[in-house]
Amino acid sequence: MVSRKEWNALADDFEREVCDITRETGSREIDRILRKLKPSPERSVLVDLGCGIGTFVERYGARFRHTYAVEHAARILARARKRIGRREDITFMTSNIPPAVARIGRKADLTVCMNVITMPENRIRAQMWRGIAGVTRKKGHALIVVPSIESDRMVERVAYGTSLADAKKDAPDGLVDRGGSRQKHFARDELRDVLALHGFAVKRLLRVPYPWQKEGLRKPRNAGTRMPWDWLVLAERV
């Protein structure tokens, strides 16, 4: 798990070091989802849990009446404030997710949480899922991005020649080593199950590809059109 100190240290190099789906390969799909949801600038509330440098809020915040931008790393949130500027319709919060949820309450018509739920500890991940449920109104939606274990196994096979059986043995619980720390990766069916457990029905679940360079690799010659991907899921609070 990346500590607050380590996350703060990425503030200056955020764009280079962090895969920002809104800024990169997921922007087209996110645009489609927002057009379909049709949030109201007079009524709708957006909560971005783990907003990073504010890419999603900057791009889509004006479609909502009010936005809560939550980030636990103060230096990264400072960059979000700087790039977005002073706006009365945005509340910036330097906070972990559970205390932020307690302060916000169940207000969100759309809750966004992108590449945040990657902690190896099941207990902490459960807190995050409960937090998403805790701020999302009934019939509201959550837009979530998480790493894909199916993608990681594809990378192992294509880049390193690892068999599928061996790749599964290496990370049977979806915990994958990333730069010396373990990160949780989710299987498609597992993601559906955990969302159902916390009161959500999946409406869309799709792959969002990203460059091989984000895996620290040049594209393998035998990759063809295959690229690593994250899961992007839109779910409704039921």
Rounded Cα gap, residues 35 and 170, in angstroms:
40
Question: What would the two tokens of residue 86 be?
Answer: 């002073």
- Condensed to tens digits (0 to 9), the pLDDT of residues 49-97 reads 999 889 999 999 999 999 999 998 888 899 899 888 888 999 999 999 9
Q: Which residues contact 11 (CB under 8 A, 6 or more apart)?
A: 53, 73, 75, 76, 78, 79
Question: What would the two tokens of residue 172 be?
Answer: 């049977």
Q: What is the dihedral of CA 14, 140, 125, 29, to 10 degrees?
A: -40
Rounded Cα gap, residues 7 and 125, in angstroms:
18
| pLDDT over 90 percentage in the chain | 70
- Condensed to tens digits (0 to 9), the pLDDT of residues 190-226 reads 999 999 999 999 999 999 998 898 888 999 999 999 9
Q: What is the pLDDT of residue 195?
A: 98
Domains detected in the chain: 4-148+185-237 (3.40.50.150)
Rounded Cα gap, residues 156 and 142, in angstroms:
30
Single-letter residue type at 68 = Y
Q: Are 190 and 228 in contact (CB under 8 A)?
A: no
pLDDT band for position 13 (50/70/90)? Answer: low
Which of 236, 217, 205 lies closest to 140, judged by CA? 236
Question: What would the two tokens of residue 28 be?
Answer: 């087209």
